[in-house]
Amino acid sequence: AQSVTQLDSHVSVSEGTPVLLRCNYSSSYSPSLFWYVQHPNKGLQLLLKYTSAATLVKGINGFEAEFKKSETSFHLTKPSAHMSDAAEYFCVVSSTSGTYKYIFGTGTRLKVLA
């Protein structure tokens, strides 16, 4: 069975400083992994995805994530935070057989301080 753990429920950073949102996964097979962002009163938006190609994945708005099989991690990073990055971020693992069901983490709320 697949599962995903987001290690921080809240992260605060100052504008212009790096962002690190941590995600660990569990999967019996090579997983597909995603990061989604949810702004207040808006739908979830895909930031990036990993599907067994390059382990360093670049996404929208300057975000990237690195798949590390040995550490079962898929942490999300951004070199410099903007105020507009304040939102809820979800790490997602997709099952690799059958229904390819999405399993969401509990989310990390990112706060960006001026």
Partner 1 sequence: EAGVVQSPRYKIIEKKQPVAFWCNPISGHNTLYWYLQNLGQGPELLIRYENEEAVDDSQLPKDRFSAERLKGVDSTLKIQPAELGDSAVYLCASSSLAGGPGNEQFFGPGTRLTVL
Residues that bind partner 1 (CB under 8 A): 9, 31-32, 34, 36, 41-46, 49, 51, 90, 92, 94-96, 99-102, 104-107
| Cβ 13 to partner 1 shortest distance, Å | 20
Q: Which amino acid belongs to residue 2?
A: Q
Contact status, residue 77 vs residue 64, Cβ threshold 8 Å? yes
| Cβ 41 to partner 1 shortest distance, Å | 7
Token pair of 97, please? 């057989």
| Cβ 102 to partner 1 shortest distance, Å | 6
Sequence-distant (6+) residues with CB within 8 A of 92 are 4, 33, 34, 35, 36, 102, 103, 104, 105
Residue (15 or 38) nearer to partner 1, CB: 38
Residue (13 or 50) nearer to partner 1, CB: 50
Residue 55 — left, alpha, or beta (φ > 0 → left; ψ -120 to 50 → alpha)?
A: alpha
Residue (15 or 49) nearer to partner 1, CB: 49
Residue (92 or 112) nearer to partner 1, CB: 92
